[in-house]
Structure 1
Amino acid sequence: MSKRLRSSEVCADCSGPDPSWASVNRGTFICDECCSVHRSLGRHISQVRHLKHTPWPPTLLQMVETLYNNGANSIWEHSLLDPASIMSGRRKANPQDKVHPNKAEFIRAKYQMLAFVHRLPCRDDDSVTAKDLSKQLHSSVRTGNLETCLRLLSLGAQANFFHPEKGNTPLHVASKAGQILQAELLAVYGADPGTQDSSGKTPADYARQGGHHELAERLVEIQYELTDRLAFYLCGRKPDHKNGQHFIIPQMADSSLDLSELAKAAKKKLQSLSNHLFEELAMDVYDEVDRRETDAVWLATQNHSTLVTETTVVPFLPVNPEYSSTRNQGRQKLARFNAHEFATLVIDILSDAKRRQQGSPLSSSKDNVELILKTINNQHSIESQDNDQPDYDSVASDEDTDLEAAASKANRQKSLDSDLSDGPVTVQEFMEVKNALVASEAKIQQLMKVNNNLSDELRIMQKKASRLEKQNSTPESDYDNTPNDVDPDDPGSSRKGRQRSVLWQGDGSVPDIAEAHTVPSPILPSTEDVIRKTEQITKNIQELLRAAQENKHDSYIPCSERIHIAVTEMAALFPKKPKSDMVRTSLRLLTSSAYRLQSECKKTLLGDSGPSADIQLVTQQVIQCAYDIAKAAKQLVTITTKENNN
């Protein structure tokens, strides 16, 4: 008993006292600071719940307590328990360590990289190893030894493994043996309670046959966990599965508003998704519900007088590397939905989940979600787009704000019944917003990668340029060989940039690079000039990124001004009406993105968007604008290099 009390009072990651959160799939208790890192990793790495302020199925909490009290943490810190690890300098975090980078780096290594987990001897055939581990799991779940099964799962055993000789899965075996905590652990790792054995029996059938009625009822709850969680999020109630009620779907008080042709067409598109794609969308919405609910608990349990940026909310779903970039982007855009938009999406999913389970026929069948998304995209394109383009571009489109405004206007007059505080949007509007709004940590990572790649390319090009300009001996003159070039450090150039910046802000429009009265010119600036200006832009973007990552929001405006000046100077290198379509397109993206960046950064001022402005959303838009600028600058470097070498 003393061991249980002592271990339950210590954070598994830093040994801090009184942990108030649990990582369900890791079987550990963690403190607030370590939990903030767990949340940023995503549910595919760590599923966190507050021990007191989150509703718990009793047996799920009992499962986590049993794992932790029986040393489950040693699974994730196996090699750290080896005395040799002390000699190698490896150690776990301690309570006095800073969250970033100390605790964060340790937690990522521990759970994301599995750096300290016991490794099996290398074998040529990994599938054989996984099969062997899964067979061991299949046998072990009949016992109460949870930590053994968790260790097997950590090594790669599959929770849904179908034993070819036995004709069933580990969940069938655990259910037959009445091992309810094993069933909870398997379900956390993805075991499907609806799976049938070779005779057509489910795990719940096994439990009933063995007289384990509590387990049988819990298995039914697990089977409907996704839709139950969505319903509870909307109205605070769950279905009565014992009496055959498996779905609760809140009704819309103003359902007459939802009968437009567009609304009907949108619902048909949602219904036309294949079961696989519908399940993916439903799981993504489930994860977003979890994020929102956990955020609410997080904010309610923190001391706001000492709340720091290191342990703030998670503004969108973290990237899951196992998912496609399209799906990750879609998942992150869910965070942009306001309450009534998101509630309506949840209702639509609940309705269609019920329809699918009952086997209602479809009016039409299209299994390609890409086609559906493209159809909606093309309805709202301002400029014609190629149908082969990906649904989610690598950068934000210029019509984002128009789509957002249109979706917002369409949703303004709708409402739900008393179960909900806001009104609904249609699936059509959901798809519009989903395709229009770009958010996220993924963009930060993409932008950093682009900047790193760009810096590497610039260094290579600089070396080439240096060899071409051997006759110039001083560093200042290495790239100063054209009358168009303007030194960024020259006061005159700064004045020119600022004057043009003021002009842009004054008339509220983006200057058109290709003026109608100007004759198209095939002449391009030298590669060296473009490289130098791009370097200046890149340097300023990196400064803006650092400000975003460190939450220095007051630095946004001065950073955006410096980027704007650098962009203006780079645009001035090119003829007013370049002959090349690619150059015109890149210049337009460059200058319009710089203008949009300034507009977004101005929103950090209280007078511009009010004290209630969502700084997280502003930051996301700032990052995407910076990404557009970096992409355009890189394109111009590539184009001028290619043209000047021909």
Structure 2
Amino acid sequence: MSMRPRNRDVCADCSAPGPTWASVNRGVLICDECCSIHRGLGRHSSQVRHLTHTSWPQSQLQMVQTLYNNGANSIWEHSLLDPSSVMTGKRKANPQDKVHPNKTDFIKAKYQMLAFVHRMPCREDDSVTAKDLSKQLHSSVRTGNLETCLRLLSLGAQANFFHPEKGNTPLHVAAKAGQLSQAELLAVYGADPGAPDANGLSPIDYARQAGHHDLADRLVEIQFELTDRLAFYLCGRKPDHKNGQHFIIPQIADRNDGLDLSELAKAAKKKLQSLSNHQFEELAMDVYDEVDRRETDAVWLATQNHSTLVTETTVVPFLPVNPEYSSTRNQGRQKLARFNAHEFATLVIDILTDAKRRQQGTSCENAKENVELILKGIDNRHGSESQDVDQPDYDSVASDEDTEREPASGKEERTKSSESSDLSDGPITVQEFMEVKSALNASEVKIQQLLKVNCHLSEELRTMQNKVLKCRSKSNIVDVQKHFACSY
């Protein structure tokens, strides 16, 4: 579903007319110029989607439109609405401001630093404040007041908060009440549709028991959103969850070129399968973010028509830094942009294959835990060596590398496609994935050097042994001479 902006709609950041983009997690509509800045903030700050050139779930689009119409932007600009803010020099950006630095500084302050959000009174124990906010959220989601819930989330309420007295989460409450838009908002902020309540029931179960079958179906889609997005990126269709099809495993056209039979590829797949739940979750989330970056980048460039916005300062060549991640993980995430179309498609297929293996593995002791970890909501969604119980559905995917843009600089020698799933069992698997070939080559060189050293040491050892034998012979001769000298 797509939505055309109405004539009265204006950009939430600079008031330019006719915004064509939306920030899903902020509940606002934005113009092209402001969108170019939002894209550089990263998905952890702003999740942007085009209103007409992107396929939207109808209920998610309705949620954003409702928030925008009900003044969600005032949450992010609360202090700017105070007349005294004019006296302090604080002001909202306007359409005539330059993108850099004026609009950029304003948008970063607004969404990254939350400089204009209304602050709660400080307490000595911040966890108490977060718990109180989360309890308020737990009560509020049974109503249709979306902006109240967004305000609570902006202040630190947790979407996955487990109420100790009620024995469930806010998403359970929204599902039972049939509040589809509230469920969409909670999901954007990481609520897990598969989270169990005190009796082991999920929000999906709550929705079905209450007769909200459309909401239950949507929650199933949210539960599988990560793998669905990866599959859609490659083959343009999603699984039919209503009929029990939860995975589509596409196939690259030239996948049977013989490269996958290499020992290195087999070792890489084994490493991927041996990743812990947490490591696999991180990798899947990073690949999802890279898919979102590539798709959004393609839509953004296609809608600019070679306008002045298409400059080096508005291009997002790799995933922006997420301050919540380690520097090593951020470096690994950025290296995903170096993958060409074929390499990246192979990595995505390997992720989908192993996600299905983990979800369907029946011999794993932690099968339930695997399902919950792999199929969580996007922001916190996403284990034994069990085998797939059935064959995947295959779609053919073009492997033409021209379908993806590669950075103009920094191109490196490409590894074989079969190596694109070579992941280490360390916590930062993407970086090791990119460096595995050079690491193996370096290891081979070291092995050869050690072999040479070993041969040299063996020769020295033989020489020393010969010298020892000679010394012993001389010693025996001296002893004999002494013996004869004493006899005479």
Report the TM-score range of the alignment, normalised by the length of the smaller protein: 0.7 to 0.9
Counterparts in 2 of 1:101-140, with a 5 A limit? 101-140=101-140
Counterparts in 2 of 1:382-401, with a 5 A limit? none
Contact 1:63/1:181 (8 A) holds in 2: yes
Could you say what secondary structure the match of 2:353 adopts? Answer: helix
% same residue: 81
**Are 2:356 and 1:338 aligned?**
no
Q: Partners of 1:352 and 1:270 in 2: how far apart?
A: 8
What is residue 230 of structure 2 aligned with on the other side? 230
What is residue 66 of structure 1 aligned with on the other side? 66
Q: CA deviation at 1:259?
A: 2.1
Q: Partners of 2:25 and 2:431 in 1: how far apart?
A: 32
Contact 1:8/1:69 (8 A) holds in 2: no
Q: Tell me which amino acid in the other structure corresponds to 1:428.
A: D
Q: CA deviation at 1:313?
A: 2.3
What is residue 318 of structure 2 aligned with on the other side? 316
What is residue 422 of structure 2 aligned with on the other side? 428
Q: Partners of 2:313 and 2:328 in 1: how far apart?
A: 28
- Size of the aligned set, in residue pairs, is 381
Candidates 247, 271, 274, aligned match of 1:272: 274
Contact 2:45/2:111 (8 A) holds in 1: yes
What is residue 170 of structure 2 aligned with on the other side? 170
What is residue 248 of structure 1 aligned with on the other side? 248
What is residue 407 of structure 2 aligned with on the other side? none
What is residue 350 of structure 2 aligned with on the other side? 348
Q: CA deviation at 1:94?
A: 0.2
Q: CA deviation at 1:436?
A: 7.6
**Are 2:44 and 1:41 aligned?**
no
Q: Partners of 2:435 and 2:130 in 1: how far apart?
A: 39
Q: Partners of 2:188 and 2:359 in 1: how far apart?
A: 23
Q: Partners of 1:60 and 1:66 in 2: how far apart?
A: 10
Q: Tell me which amino acid in the other structure corresponds to 1:135.
A: K
What is residue 259 of structure 1 aligned with on the other side? 261
- 1:131–1:280: structure 2 CA closer, same or farther, 3 Å change rule? same
Contact 1:7/1:69 (8 A) holds in 2: no
What is residue 212 of structure 1 aligned with on the other side? 212
Could you say what secondary structure the match of 1:309 adopts? Answer: coil
Q: Tell me which amino acid in the other structure corresponds to 2:247.
A: F
Could you say what secondary structure the match of 1:52 adopts? Answer: coil
Contact 1:159/1:170 (8 A) holds in 2: yes
- 1:229–1:8: structure 2 CA closer, same or farther, 3 Å change rule? farther
Q: Tell me which amino acid in the other structure corresponds to 2:16.
A: G
Q: CA deviation at 1:7?
A: 8.6
- 1:431–1:87: structure 2 CA closer, same or farther, 3 Å change rule? closer
Q: Tell me which amino acid in the other structure corresponds to 2:140.
A: S
Contact 1:171/1:183 (8 A) holds in 2: yes
Q: Tell me which amino acid in the other structure corresponds to 1:313.
A: V
- Counting helix residues as a fraction of each chain, which structure ranks higher? 1
Counterparts in 2 of 1:265-304, with a 5 A limit? 265-304=267-306
Q: CA deviation at 1:425?
A: 4.6
Contact 1:298/1:313 (8 A) holds in 2: no
Q: Partners of 2:7 and 2:137 in 1: how far apart?
A: 26
Q: CA deviation at 1:55?
A: 0.7
Residues 159-181 of structure 1, C-alpha deviations (whole Å, 9 max, x = no match): 00000000000000000000000
Counterparts in 2 of 1:224-623, with a 5 A limit? 224-252=224-252, 253-255=254-256, 256-309=258-311, 312-359=314-361, 404-405=412-413, 407-408=414-415, 410-411=416-417, 425-428=419-422, 434-435=434-435
Q: Partners of 2:215 and 2:436 in 1: how far apart?
A: 45
- 1:431–1:78: structure 2 CA closer, same or farther, 3 Å change rule? closer
Q: What is the RMSD of the two structures over their aligned residues, measured on CA atoms?
A: 2.1
Could you say what secondary structure the match of 1:49 adopts? Answer: strand
Q: Partners of 1:63 and 1:226 in 2: how far apart?
A: 20
Q: CA deviation at 1:431?
A: 6.2
What is residue 492 of structure 1 aligned with on the other side? none
Greater than 4 Å deviation, 4+ residue runs = 5-8, 429-433
Q: Tell me which amino acid in the other structure corresponds to 1:75.
A: I
- 1:127–1:15: structure 2 CA closer, same or farther, 3 Å change rule? same
Q: Partners of 1:13 and 1:404 in 2: how far apart?
A: 39
Contact 2:331/2:431 (8 A) holds in 1: no
Give ranges in structure 1 of 5+ residues lacking alignment: 363-400, 412-423, 438-646
Give ranges in structure 2 of 5+ residues lacking alignment: 365-409, 424-429, 438-488
Could you say what secondary structure the match of 2:251 adopts? Answer: coil
Contact 2:7/2:18 (8 A) holds in 1: no
Q: Partners of 2:332 and 2:278 in 1: how far apart?
A: 16
Could you say what secondary structure the match of 2:343 adopts? Answer: helix
Q: CA deviation at 1:309?
A: 2.0
Q: Tell me which amino acid in the other structure corresponds to 2:265.
A: A
Could you say what secondary structure the match of 2:294 adopts? Answer: helix
Contact 1:162/1:169 (8 A) holds in 2: yes
Contact 2:289/2:319 (8 A) holds in 1: yes
Q: CA deviation at 1:311?
A: 5.7
Could you say what secondary structure the match of 2:29 adopts? Answer: strand
What is residue 191 of structure 1 aligned with on the other side? 191
Q: CA deviation at 1:361?
A: 5.9
Q: Partners of 1:356 and 1:135 in 2: how far apart?
A: 34
Could you say what secondary structure the match of 1:167 adopts? Answer: coil
Contact 1:340/1:425 (8 A) holds in 2: no
Contact 1:13/1:92 (8 A) holds in 2: yes
Bigger relative CO (Cα 8 Å, ≥ 6 apart): 2
Residues 490-515 of structure 1, C-alpha deviations (whole Å, 9 max, x = no match): xxxxxxxxxxxxxxxxxxxxxxxxxx
Q: Tell me which amino acid in the other structure corresponds to 1:235.
A: C
Could you say what secondary structure the match of 2:237 adopts? Answer: coil
Q: Partners of 2:77 and 2:431 in 1: how far apart?
A: 43
Q: Partners of 1:164 and 1:238 in 2: how far apart?
A: 37
Contact 2:79/2:85 (8 A) holds in 1: yes
Q: Partners of 1:230 and 1:30 in 2: how far apart?
A: 26
Q: Partners of 2:67 and 2:200 in 1: how far apart?
A: 32
Q: Partners of 2:173 and 2:202 in 1: how far apart?
A: 11
Q: Answer with 1 or 2: which has the greater Rg.
A: 2
- 1:249–1:308: structure 2 CA closer, same or farther, 3 Å change rule? closer
Q: CA deviation at 1:272?
A: 0.7
What is residue 13 of structure 2 aligned with on the other side? 13
Could you say what secondary structure the match of 1:29 adopts? Answer: strand
Q: Partners of 2:307 and 2:39 in 1: how far apart?
A: 21
Structure 1 length-normalised TM: 0.57
Q: CA deviation at 1:433?
A: 5.7
Structure 2 length-normalised TM: 0.75
**Are 2:84 and 1:84 aligned?**
yes
- 1:325–1:436: structure 2 CA closer, same or farther, 3 Å change rule? farther
Residues 98-121 of structure 1, C-alpha deviations (whole Å, 9 max, x = no match): 000000000000000000000111
Q: Tell me which amino acid in the other structure corresponds to 1:328.
A: N
